[in-house]
Amino acid sequence: MPDALVRKTATGGRTVALTFDDGPSPQWTPQVLALLKQYKAKATFCMLGPNAKANPKLVKEVVADGNRLCDHSVTHDEGIAKRPLSRIKYEITTAHDQIVAAAGPGTKVDWFRAPGGDWSPQVRAMAAGYGMRSLDWSDDTRDWQRPGADKILATAEKELRPGGIILMHDAGGDRAQTLAALKQLLPWLVQQGYSFDFPA
């Protein structure tokens, strides 16, 4: 049986792991990176293979800033767990290779995150076979629904636990609300005594 899903930070305690899905996006990712730098925060970017391939400079910038990479598949198929093994393999391994090619040889992609959290033992085993842990989350901001920055922030604050993994998006549509929420979330986390970590 593959390892359990990762839903906590590497060090635990009063730490938090920020994760951003569906990028990189030339419009939104640089703005996320600028905010992270401002608060000396690091994050994990769960990238779609084709987006990484289309934006290699941006992928390199994400890595150069000290952030980490996660494979989020090729097509964002939210039914990945029900697909034949050959399709699962394509989604996971092709995206992994596209991300590494964009980032530069030898770059590590530590995690795979199933689109929509659609996990199965087969999906997790395929990721593990490629040297990746299966990354889930504990705090879903539901920013993709675009409910307004205040609501995104309130959800993040309400669901947060020490050692938690926060899910947000830096691509896949208009992310102005996510950015506005992040501008308030980062100082709030610092004020609450949290430090920034990576997933386990």
List residues with catalytic annotation: 21, 169
d(CA 126, CA 92): 7
Question: Both tokens of residue 51?
Answer: 């987006």
What is the C-alpha separation between 113 and 136, in angstroms, rounded?
A: 6
Task: State the Cα–Cα distance between residues 81 and 101, nearest whole angstrom.
Answer: 26
DSSP 8-state assignment for residue 13: S
Say if CB 99 and CB 75 are below 8 A apart.
no
**Four-residue CA torsion sign, 84, 70, 97, 115:** positive
Please state, as a whole number, how many other Cβ atoms lie within 10 Å of the Cβ of residue 196: 18
Task: Say what the alpha-carbon torsion angle 189, 192, 196, 199 is, to the nearest 10 degrees.
Answer: -90
DSSP secondary structure, 32-87, as one string: HHHHHHHTT--EEEEE-HHHHHH-HHHHHHHHHTT-EEEE--SS--TTGGGS-HHH
